């Protein structure tokens, strides 16, 4: 048996997942195709993506460094957009610009599970923490990044130690975003914090902080890092995150082959340096350290 034929048979046996990235080369006489009718379960998200010839991905439009839309050009940028590109590459190998096969939709924190459950989107790549509660409703590929929840407050409050950790938020007004783990974690860790000011968008929490309507805001350190850049010097994080936030790619519940395909692509991007390069191009522009990629949960 020739090596090419052997690989072809293995691909057929284990489905497109492990072979999608190179199918064009291996089967030179056939066009590259990420999915074949024999390997895609009828009615699955993968089948819908294949039929549509594009993937609908829910991302943030207003979170610097992760998912930010330029209002002038409509262009999206950030680490979640880079991860979306990698996923599209795995879904549509050899089919030109991967972004040509992506339809982005804005997914606010509060909308993510519902969007996946309703089939409004195929995937959510939106600073989306993997949690047990969410796993009851949706599945996750990844993680592809581990953030940590921190606090952003006036520089003098941080430097003087008035706000040194989450316990110091008890009795203070703190803004968090609805539908986020940040709000739930805050309520658990500082039950006496005043959480009457909530917003649907992170920049709106930041505006409330800038206007002095709240004493602090809380969410993932990398989101805070992106926001504080626009008003450098006046606000600061504690640098002491109080909750681990592993970012996953949300997928509709039960879509195991889609999850395996995405995990395979993430693993290759971790190994071949694409993940680190994408991080350096986005979060790495302002973050002091480039982390190691996390271990994928299989």
Q: Give the DSSP per-residue string, 219-261.
A: EEHHHHHHHHGGGBTTEEE-S---EEEEEEEEEETT-HHHHHH
Give the span between the Cα atoms of 55 and 45, in whole angstroms: 9
- Minimum distance of ligand GLU from residue 185's CB (angstroms): 9
63 vs 158, beta carbon nearer ligand GLU: 63
> In angstroms, what is the minimal distance from the CB of 34 to ligand GLU?
28
Pick 34 or 250: Cβ nearer ligand GLU: 250
Q: Which of 15, 127, 238, 263 binds ligand GLU (CB under 6 A)?
A: 127
Give the contact letters, 74-113, x = binds to ligand GLU (CB under 6 A), - = no: -----------------------------------x----
Task: Select the residue interacting with ligand GLU from 129, 218, 237, 238 (CB under 6 A).
Answer: 129
Sign, CA dihedral 154-158-160-161, equals positive
**Which of 111, 139, 150, 220 is in the footprint of ligand GLU by CB under 6 A?**
220
219 near ligand GLU, rule: CB under 6 A: yes
151 contributes a contact to ligand GLU by CB under 6 A: no
Interface with ligand GLU, residue 145, by CB under 6 A: no
Question: Which part of the chain contacts ligand GLU (CB under 6 A), choosing from 1-9, 12-20, 176-184, 286-294?
Answer: 176-184
> Smallest gap, in angstroms, from Cβ of residue 170 to ligand GLU?
21
With contacts defined by CB under 6 A, name the span among 21-29, 150-158, 215-223, 236-244 that binds ligand GLU: 215-223
Alpha helices in 92-141 (DSSP H): 112-118, 132-135
* Class of residue 9 by CB neighbours under 10 A (exposed 0-12, middle 13-18, buried 19+): exposed
Tokens of 229: 């850049």
Q: Please state, in angstroms and as integers, the Cα–Cα distance from residue 213 to each residue in 78, 185, 196, 205, 258, following that order.
A: 29, 21, 11, 9, 44
The verdict on 195 binding ligand GLU (CB under 6 A) reads no
Residue 227-246 contact track with ligand GLU, rule CB under 6 A, x = bound: ------------------x-
Minimum gap (Å) between residue 220 Cβ and ligand GLU: 5
d(Cα 173, Cα 11) in Å, to the nearest integer? 56
For residue 181, state whether it binds ligand GLU (rule: CB under 6 A): yes
Residue 219 or 263: the one with the smaller Cβ distance to ligand GLU is 219
Is the separation of the CB atoms in 233 and 156 below 8 Å? no
Q: C-alpha dihedral over 218, 121, 91, 145, to 10 degrees? A: 10
Secondary structure of residue 147 in the 3-state scheme:
strand
- The answer to whether residues 246 and 294 touch, using CB atoms and an 8 Å cutoff, is yes
Between 19 and 283, CB nearer to ligand GLU: 283
What's the CA gap between 236 and 155, in Å, rounded? 5
Find the binder of ligand GLU among 15, 20, 23, 180 (CB under 6 A).
Answer: 180
Give burial (CB, 10 Å; 0-12/13-18/19+) of 188: exposed
Q: Using CB under 6 A as the criterion, which residues of the chain lie in contact with ligand GLU when the complex forms? A: 109, 126-129, 177, 180-182, 219-220, 223, 245
């Amino acid at each position: 048996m020739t090596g090419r034929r052997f690989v072809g048979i293995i691909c057929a046996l284990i489905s497109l997942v492990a072979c999608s990235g190179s199918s064009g080369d291996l089967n030179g006489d056939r066009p590259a195709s990420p999915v074949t009718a024999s390997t895609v379960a009828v009615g699955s998200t993968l089948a819908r993506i294949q039929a549509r010839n594009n993937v609908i991905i829910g991302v943030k439009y207003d979170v610097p460094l992760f998912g930010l839309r330029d209002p002038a050009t409509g262009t999206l940028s950030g680490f979640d957009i880079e991860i979306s590109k990698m996923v599209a590459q795995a879904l549509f190998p050899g089919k030109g610009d991967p972004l040509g096969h992506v339809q982005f939709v804005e997914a606010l924190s509060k909308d993510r599970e519902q969007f996946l459950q309703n089939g409004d989107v195929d995937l959510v790549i939106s600073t989306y923490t993997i949690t047990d509660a969410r796993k009851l409703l949706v599945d996750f590929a990844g993680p592809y990044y581990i953030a940590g929840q921190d606090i952003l407050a006036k520089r003098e409050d941080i430097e003087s130690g008035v706000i040194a950790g989450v316990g110091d938020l008890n009795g203070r007004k703190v803004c968090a975003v609805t539908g986020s783990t940040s709000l739930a974690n805050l309520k658990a860790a500082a039950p006496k914090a005043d959480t009457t000011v909530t917003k649907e968008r992170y920049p709106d929490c930041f505006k409330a902080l800038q206007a002095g309507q709240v004493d602090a805001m809380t969410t993932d350190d990398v989101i805070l890092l992106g926001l504080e850049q626009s008003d450098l010097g006046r606000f600061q994080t504690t640098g002491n995150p109080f909750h681990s936030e592993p970012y996953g790619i949300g997928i509709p519940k039960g879509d195991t082959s889609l999850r395996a395909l995405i995990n395979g692509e993430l693993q290759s991007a971790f190994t071949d340096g694409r993940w680190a390069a994408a991080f350096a191009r986005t979060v790495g522009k302002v973050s002091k350290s480039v982390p190691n990629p996390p271990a994928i949960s299989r």
